[in-house]
Each structure stands twice: as structure tokens, then as C-alpha cells.
A and B are shown apart, each in its own frame.
Chain A
Amino acid sequence: MLPAALVGRLRGIVGGDGVIDRADSLVVYECDGYTLERAAPDVVVLPRTPAEVAAVLRCLADARVPFVPRGAGTGLAGGTLPVGAPVMVCTSRLQRIEAIDVANRRLVAQAGVVNLWVTNAVRAHGLHYAPDPSSQPACTIGGNVAENSGGPHTLKYGVTTNHVLGVELVLPSGDVVRLGGAVEDRPGYDLTGLVVGSEGTFGVVTRAVLRLVRTPEATRTLLAVFDSVEAASEAVSGVIAAGIVPAALELMDRIIIAAVEAAYGVGLPTDAGAVLLIELDGPAVGLDPQVERVRGVCGAHRAREIRVARDERERAALWRARKRAFGAVGRLAPNYCTQDGVVPRTRVPDILRRIAAAAERHRLRIGNVFHAGDGNIHPILLFDERDADEVRRVLAAGREILEACVEMGGSLTGEHGIGVEKIGQMPLLFGPDDLRAMVALRHVFDPDERANPHKVFPDAKVCVETRAPRRQAAP
């Protein structure tokens, strides 16, 4: 347990309501979106300003106490699971949008600003913030920066790192450093680019300078229905090969369609093998010819039906179905685990076959809803955590799927991060020299490894105490 004097000092910084240390309140913080492993911190600290974050980290530095940064806790790889870090520093109360510069398309957000608030703040100016994770009504900019989050529309517009020009980082020492900024081409190493996606292992990001993009003049959203997931995934390759860059190109298979339809009833054909959600955007003048080309490609791949959303309401309904698919899965099983792997986009049909084979071999149900245009798969493994054997099979199947991704020339994670979940598999992707270089960089920012310890890098010190899933505290 943390010394009472230290907790007192933290209270002194953030106020009485900014420190949580009662066991029943800490339960909320014992996992993020990755629920297979749980561990509560001793203390959660909720600073309200960047200055308070710096004061908290300086206090922890004096006491040499490790900490884990956390935004909204929507991460899917256990990046905010406290492992050997008694203090959790939550940035969710840093909620100010500090500056909006419409002419230069820049916005300065504090770390706790929710992703969707950014777009809401600038929509009237015809601008938006491009990275749009499915959790965008909840996830925060700070978390997005830590994980280099993606989303469906990153196919055309890029991920978080392409839209973050600068960050304010509180180092584990408590020192505050500003990296990058609103102006491009800053001389020196691209430390902003290094911090984005560093999964909280460099300290706590408190502010970010974001790039805003012009909202395209027109959008067409298509739903292409296929009898088989194979045909749908081949159509994905066909669209890319035709030289079309859709704004988004998402695939949902039969299991997901059924769940989404049961939950939201948007009229998806539940007897289909798979549907593709294809969005094209840009100047109105070029759009309809592109829609026709996409129709042609889908037709050539035996699409049995192609619907085009007739208005914004229909479009919104389709996207709601897609973005809430994870929530809908809750109807299918008590628990689920979302994997996040990447394959070269032409290998999507291959990886889907491997996923199906893994499901059969391990007697599991696995649904697929993912960013097909990027080759970024999200198999959803359904299970009941009370069934210990099934949990073991879920973990084994997940591992096999990721190994298959790497074998196909892909990656362990496209947008969720390594967290605790995939530490063991990092050596599949990176050799000792690669990992040594990364750890050397980590030590530049965090020489004592107090910022989010035991994450990202395989490390002999990681204990196995959290490896066995626990029952959920509440039903």
C-alpha cells in the first residue's frame, strides 16, 4: 500500500475529490476495454489541469513511485492495467479545448477532451478531426495520442500521428516539455512522432495540437451484401486494386450482422455471409463515377445487393450500426475479446480463413467487424469467463490469429497497441536489436521505468499474478 503521507500530498495537489483510494470505488479502474486481466491500483489521482498533472508526477518522482496514465479507459489491449504501478493518473478531467484556429486549421486540446468533442467544436466551420475510433464518444485525445488510435476513416485520412502536430508531455520527473507545435517543419528530431503511440511509457501527455481537416463536400455510403465472407473480402481487394481510395471500407460478417440487427434493427440482411460498408467522399463532381466503379467491382465479386444510403439519416444509421457493433456483441455472449491484427490488404481473404479455422479448432465463436481496406482485422472472440477452459481457448486462438498476421507480413496491432495483451508476442515482430533501440529511447524519457511499467516490451520482471482472469466484481 501507498504510504498515507504520500496520499495526503496527492490530496493536497488535486483536492479531496481528486483522489480515489476506497476499494469499492477502485473497482471501476481495475481494467479498461481489455477485460481478460484485472488489477486495481492503490490510488487513482484525477488532476484538473496540466499544472496539477506536473505537480502529481513530481510528487511521485520524489517518492520514486511508478504510475499508470489513463484517459477514459476505452483501450483494448490493457494499456492502463496497473502492473507494478500503485498510482493511476487519470487525465479525464483535463477537458478544455484551449484554442481553435479555423484559418490555420489547428486546435489545442487538453488530454481529457473527448475525441468527438473536437469535431463538434469545429463542425460549424466545415472542419473536423479525422481519427474516429469506434469509441469516439468516450475516448479522449490523451488516450488517442498514447495509442496512436485509428478508426474507419483513417483509410483515407491517416491515423492519430498524422493529425497531431505537437504535444505537451509531463515527464516522469515532473518536468514539462513541449514538443512540436502548430507550425510545421520544426527543426530537430520528430519527438512528437515518437511520443504518439508510446503507450504512456514516456510520461503523461497533457495537451495536444491537432490538425483539422476540411469536411468533404459530398459523401456516398454504400452497403454491399455478399453471400460469403470470401466474396466480400475479395471485393475489398478489388476496390483497392481499382485505384479507388474510399474514405472507409469496413467488413461485418454474419455473426456481427446478427448481433447488430438484434440490437439496432437497421435492416441488415441477417442471412448474408458478410456486408461491406463503403464510404466515398470528396468533391461532388467526382463522386458518382466512383460509386459506379465501386458498384461494378462489388458486382464482379458477386454482391447480391448494393444499397446506397439515400440521405444523412440512412448514412448515420449504417455508421451507428458499425461503430456500436462491439456493444451489440454483448448480446451474443457474456464476454468477448477483440483482437487487433494487420495483414497486407490483399491477404484479408487468407486471414479470414485462418480465423475461421482457429474458431473451429478451438470450438469458439468468432465474429469479424473490421477495417478491411487497411487490412486491419478485429476478430471478436466470444466467451463466458466463468468457463476457465473456454478462456484458455480464447487466449490460444487469439495468439494463433496474431501469429498468422505476422507470418503474412503484417503486424500484431493496427490501432489498439501492445499494452499487456501482446507483450509476449513482440519478439515475433522485433528482434533483440530492435527492442534494445526502443528501450534505449524509453530511458531517455523515463530512465527509471516508472511511467506505465511492464508494458509494450517483454520483460522478465513481469509477474504472472494478473495472468489469470478473475470473475467480474459485479454481475
Chain B
Amino acid sequence: MSWAALVGADFVRRGSTGDAVDGVVPEWVVRPGTAGEVRACVHAVAAQERSLVASGRGAHLDRGAPPSSCFVLLRLDRMDAVLDHQPGDMTVTVEAGCTLAALDGVLAPAGQWLPLDPPRPEATTVGGALAANLSGPLRASQGTARDLLLGVVVVGSDGALVRGGGRVVKNVAGYDLPKLHVGALGTLGVIVEATFRLRPRPPCERAVVLAGPAERAAAAGLAARDLAVPPCWLELAAPGVLDERAVLAVGYAGLAGEVAAGCDAASALAAAHGLAARVVDAGAALRGRLGAFGLDAAAVLRAATLPTGVAAVLDAAGGRPAVAHLANGVVRIACACDDLRGLVAALRPGLEATGGSLVVERAEPEAKRGVDPWGDVGPALALMRGVKAALDPSRTLAPGRFVGGI
């Protein structure tokens, strides 16, 4: 196969251990520069009955299960153009390889943002954020990728270019294909372009951090959702994550008056719950630090429960570093590699039995061996297998990476 003929010799090389996808070293690393080149590459891989994994800058390739095979690592980092920012419409269409930080650089001068704040925005591409359904503290008020995504263009496993959704903020024509690609880890198509709704960029962001006993902090956190000024984000942490004492952070973003009123209300709430409160002026920086939780840990688990179940999960983390998107019921727990299996076995059954889940968000390949990173998704798995078979019958796209070995 002459990859050079498809994308140019400068953009093809042999894969090495540094390119490994969850421990699986690709034979080739190919970097297409256009959607047309992506189509040609996918077509070529499929024609040889081999497989590929799509990637942006490789910042989040340790998610999911290792691929059962990976002939080509398709890197989309060259496709990084912001194609169409319409400030008046508050929408942006962007190529999949554009990083969130670069996109933000285009949106900020217009006073807008894409309120999606996963860790490492400088290395996280739009395509990666969608495929892995990455999120951060902002999801408490701004939703996740599924709520912000208006349209996608993907390359299917047959090399066809498939459009879903559109470029307008409201659209119910046809099935909602964009939803299907969010969080699918590239198993249904290679995302090459996405359109998002944007929001006004808040001019001011501050936070109140609360310190005191865990139980009271959890109660205060849940109560914070009912304050007149609703928090923009709300993180409940195990001791030691925020700082030595604080365990709850209530973030406010918006006009200065609103933010000030929010901070006052959160401080009053703290007093009412017998907690100490401190205002953090650098709210966005604190949010970034909480969002980046666990980057230095060997492994991170991600538990999902109802908001009222968060405190119990934090408790069950048994003193390990952990932080929760409280309003969403999502708890991330850092652990050592040799601790992973035991912790999954201890936490997963209870969470799954109550409608929740526990996934291995990130771990070294060695540590994941013998652990299903996804857990049991229940009877809907049959339909999910059907969806995979409908859109990627040849299993060309990231085989084995997703739930149930999809």
C-alpha cells in the first residue's frame, strides 16, 4: 500500500511504541490533510480488510479497551481549520483536528466560547473530545458535547462521507446522527468536521471553596443547586484535592453582579451548614485544575450515579484522591495500577445495580488487562451491536475499543 500516494510522503511513517493505542502499536501512522484524503485512507484500510484507529493528537488514546488490531493510526492533527465561525448565529464549524484551545483563540475575540472544558485543551482536538465524550466541571450548567453539537461530518467505514445534523441551532430533519458519534470512540465513523452552538463568554468567573466535614459539605453542595444564582459548576472532592481542608467548590460565571451575588449566597450557605468559606478570585484557573484531576495518577476510574449518591461513592473511594461533578453524579477516583482491579470489583456491582456505571477512564495497558473497562451495559448491548454492524459491518473502525468488545 502506498500511503504516500494518498497523503504525501511527508505524512506517512512506520508506527513505533510511542504511537501505541492502549498498548497496541500500529503498523503505520498516516496523517491525512483533507476529508477526501481521510476517505481514501479509510477506503484503503477497508479494502485490505485491516483496521484503523482515528486520533487527533493522541492525548486521550488510553481510554476504552485496547483495539483488537490496529493497522493504521489515522492522525487528524493536520485538519485543524476553523472553517466557519458565525458570531451573529453563535455557531462554529470546525475541522476535527483543531484543538479546543485553538478554537477558543478564535472564539474569544468575539466574546463567545464553546463551554466544553475537558483537561488538556491544548492537546485535545474537537474530534477527540466528541469521540471520547470528554467533559469538565462546566457540564453542571452547560451540558456535555451532545448538548452543544449541532452537526457532524464523518467518514464511514466504506469511505463514504456522511452528514448528520446541520449548521443551525434547531433541527429535527432525519435521525440525530451526531448523538450517535458522541462517545462512540470512533467505532462508527471517523469524525472529520463538527458544528457547535456557542454561548456568550462570561466576563467574570469566581468560586467559593468550602471546608468542613464531608457529610455537611455534600449536603451544602446539593443545596447550592437551589440557590437563586445557580452555580455554573459544582465540584465535591475528597480531602486534599482542592487544598488541605476544602472539599466543595461552587463556581460562578457571568456578569460581575451575578457572580458577586452568587459568591455571597454560597458563603451564606456555607455558614448555614457550619462550613468555612473562602472566595477564589481565579475561578477559571481553579476549574481548570479540578478538570485536570488525575492526569498524574496511574489510573482513573469514573463512577456515575445520581447526585444524591455522590457522597457515598466518595466515601467508598476510601481516602483515595477523588473529585465529583456533583450536579451530574460523576465521580473520578485516582488509584494505583495494582489497586485497579480490586477497586473495580468493589464499586462496580453496587453502581450497576442502581442504574449507574463504573468505567476505567484511563489506565496503563498493563493495569487494564483482565478488567473490562466499560462494565455491563445491559440488554441494550444487542442493539448497540446492531448499530455497529449497520455502520461498520467490516469492523474496520477501532475494533474492540468499545463496550462489549464492539
Contacts and interface: CB of A to CB of B under 8 A. Distances in A.
Interface stretch (B74-82, B338-346, B377-385): B377-385
Contacts of A430: 163, 173-174
A342 B377 contact: no
A191 B380 contact: yes
Nearest to A158: B147
A327 interface: no
A416 interface: yes
Nearest to B386: A444
A471 interface: no
B183 interface: yes
Interface stretch (A21-29, A32-40, A56-64, A433-441): A433-441
A414 B167 CA distance: 12
Contact of B377 (A186, A410, A417): A186
Contacts of A161: 146, 176, 179
Interface size range of chain B in the complex: 35 or more
Contact of A411 (B166, B175, B329, B404): B166
B190 to A, nearest CB: 13
Contacts of B164: 434, 437
Nearest to B328: A184
Contact of A190 (B89, B179, B308, B379): B179
Nearest to B359: A187
Contacts of B167: 344, 409
Contact of B168 (A183, A409, A443): A409
B383 A375 contact: no
18 contacts: A185-B302, A185-B330, A186-B304, A187-B375, A193-B179, A194-B175, A214-B226, A240-B88, A243-B200, A283-B228, A283-B230, A285-B228, A376-B170, A418-B174, A429-B173, A433-B162, A434-B163, A441-B177
Contacts of B188: 189
A318 interface: no
Contact of B355 (A182, A245, A429): A182
Given A243-B200, A286-B258, A193 B176 contact: yes
A284 B355 CA distance: 37
A126 B228 CA distance: 11
B403 interface: yes
Contact of A184 (B174, B330, B380): B330
Contact of B91 (A106, A193, A344): A344
B33 interface: no
Given A190-B179, A437-B156, 13 more contacts: A183-B354, A185-B328, A197-B175, A240-B90, A285-B228, A414-B168, A426-B173, A426-B174, A429-B173, A430-B173, A433-B161, A441-B175, A444-B390
A374 B384 contact: no
A433 B156 contact: yes
B57 to A, nearest CB: 24
Contacts of B168: 342-344, 375, 409-411, 414
A312 interface: no
B89 A443 contact: no
B91 A189 contact: no
B305 interface: yes
Contacts, number: 243
A59 B121 CA distance: 53
A434 B172 CA distance: 15
B214 to A, nearest CB: 18
B379 A243 contact: no
Nearest to B258: A286
A444 B254 CA distance: 44
Interface of A: 101, 103-104, 106, 126, 147-148, 150, 154, 158-159, 161-162, 177-179, 181-191, 193-194, 196-198, 214, 217, 237, 240-241, 243-245, 282-286, 289, 342-346, 371, 374-376, 409-418, 422, 426, 429-431, 433-438, 440-445, 456
Q: Which of B168, B172, B404 has the most CB of A within 10 A?
A: B172
A371 B262 CA distance: 31
A197 B172 contact: yes
B172 A188 contact: no
A374 B169 contact: yes
A105 to B, nearest CB: 8
A347 to B, nearest CB: 8
B213 interface: no
Q: Which of B111, B255, B306 has the most CB of A within 10 A?
A: B306
A286 B255 contact: yes
Given A193-B146, A245-B200, A444-B383, A286 B257 contact: yes
B319 interface: no
A344 B163 contact: no
Given A184-B304, A285-B229, A411 B173 contact: yes
A456 B175 CA distance: 9
